[in-house]
Chains A and B, each alone.
Chain A
Amino acid sequence: AAGVIQSPRHLIKEKRETATLKCYPIPRHDTVYWYQQGPGQDPQFLISFYEKMQSDKGSIPDRFSAQQFSDYHSELNMSSLELGDSALYFCASSRDRGYEAFFGQGTRLTVV
């Protein structure tokens, strides 16, 4: 069965650079969620989209932005990167805001 696809899997950026993370949800899933998991931490909800509109907002820094496109894939844009942004970024998707969200394998971002 198709799963949530995230790219890239690993990314190394320097401080103050910009990064773009991509998420391709499971086919026919219209809801996408983004989470950030720092080293040794629990995942923190950043933002979600339903039918290409922003649905809910968590602890997403102002330096970050995201959107969901017409094909339902989503991108998380991160600017002015800081060392503290180094983390595992998960995307999850669900159907019609359903409670069962399926997670991708994550993108590991390292800021040096």
Chain B
Amino acid sequence: AQTVTQSQPEMSVQEAETVTLSCTYDTSESDYYLFWYKQPPSRQMILVIRQEAYKQQNATENRFSVNFQKAAKSFSLKISDSQLGDAAMYFCAYRTRGYSGGGADGLTFGKGTHLIIQP
């Protein structure tokens, strides 16, 4: 079974600074997807960024970028120019690319990192 580990229960950063959230995962598969989801106090799950394991290039979405190290099974999220609206719980998630039993596999989430933005 796949596992996702987020070793930082809470992180704090000053507004406008850069912060990196860590995520490691364990899998025996070679092809899979990785995601970062944001969950603000409204509890809505919002996709921040995704990465296909077969792509060597790190994904970027505006102020959000990832550092994907496949051999190390590491997938960190960097938030640049932090804004107050970035304050939320951030979940790292994994999903196999293949379809077990011909179906669509669900996501495996880490325990989350609570990001606090200091004004």
Contact = CB atoms under 8 A, between A and B. Distances in A.
A106 B108 contact: no
Size category of the binding interface on chain B = 20 to 34
A101 B110 CA distance: 17
Contacts of A41: 111
A36 B102 CA distance: 23
B36 interface: no
A35 B97 contact: no
B100 A56 contact: yes
A43 B101 contact: no
A74 B45 CA distance: 19
A86 interface: no
- Chain A interface mostly: strand
A42 B50 contact: no
Contact of A97 (B103, B108, B111): B103
Given A88-B43, A105-B44, A55 B112 contact: no
Interface of B: 33, 42-47, 50, 52, 91, 95, 97, 99-112
Given A46-B106, A90-B45, 17 more contacts: A33-B104, A33-B107, A37-B43, A42-B112, A43-B107, A45-B106, A45-B108, A48-B105, A50-B104, A53-B103, A55-B101, A56-B103, A56-B104, A56-B106, A99-B52, A100-B50, A106-B45
